């Protein structure tokens, strides 16, 4: 039972380069989220997908795009990386059944933009 899997775990980019962070979950959850975590800022929502086929902006969407490829996979793309995007990125998936909510995170991608 893998839960939420993120790749890569570490990445160094030069300013202006692009890359895609991958996330997959095997729990049949409907909702998937991308967060960034910075010292002193807590977890901030970048984009989310409440269900397959839908995506919406969170608190800090500028400079990012997302794709909900299918129910399992939700990717985050940086089109032109900037040093301000140096952060740790977490993917999460949630199941909200009405009676209860389960919410699980991946292990994170540590991104450095130089």
Partner 1 sequence: EDQVTQSPEALRLQEGESSSLNCSYTVSGLRGLFWYRQDPGKGPEFLFTLYSAGEEKEKERLKATLTKKESFLHITAPKPEDSATYLCAVQAGRLISGSRLTFGEGTQLTVNP
Can you spell out the DSSP letters for 15-43? TT--EEEEEEESS--SEEEEEEEETTTEE
Q: Where are the beta strands (DSSP E) in 54-107?
A: 56-57, 64-68, 74-78, 87-96, 101-105
Q: Is 90 in the site for partner 1 (CB under 8 A)?
A: yes
Q: Tell me the per-residue interface mask from 24 to 53 with partner 1, x by CB under 8 A, - otherwise.
A: ------xx-x------xxxx-x--x-xx--
Q: Considering the complex, what minimum distance in angstroms separates the CB of residue 80 from partner 1?
A: 26
36 or 85: whose CB is closer to partner 1? 36
Which residues of the shown chain bind partner 1 in the complex (CB under 8 A)? 4, 30-31, 33, 40-43, 45, 48, 50-51, 56, 58, 90, 94, 96, 98, 100-108, 110
């Amino acid at each position: 039972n893998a839960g939420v899997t993120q790749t890569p775990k570490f990445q160094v980019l030069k300013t202006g380069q692009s890359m895609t962070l991958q996330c997959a979950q095997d729990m049949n959850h409907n909702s998937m989220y991308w967060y960034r975590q910075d010292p002193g800022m807590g977890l901030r929502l970048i984009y989310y997908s409440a269900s397959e086929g839908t995506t919406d902006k969170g608190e800090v969407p500028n400079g990012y795009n997302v794709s909900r490829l299918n129910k399992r996979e939700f990717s985050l793309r940086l089109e032109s990386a900037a040093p301000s995007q140096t952060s740790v990125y977490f993917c999460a998936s949630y199941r909200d059944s009405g009676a209860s909510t389960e919410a699980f995170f991946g292990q994170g991608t540590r991104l450095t933009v130089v």
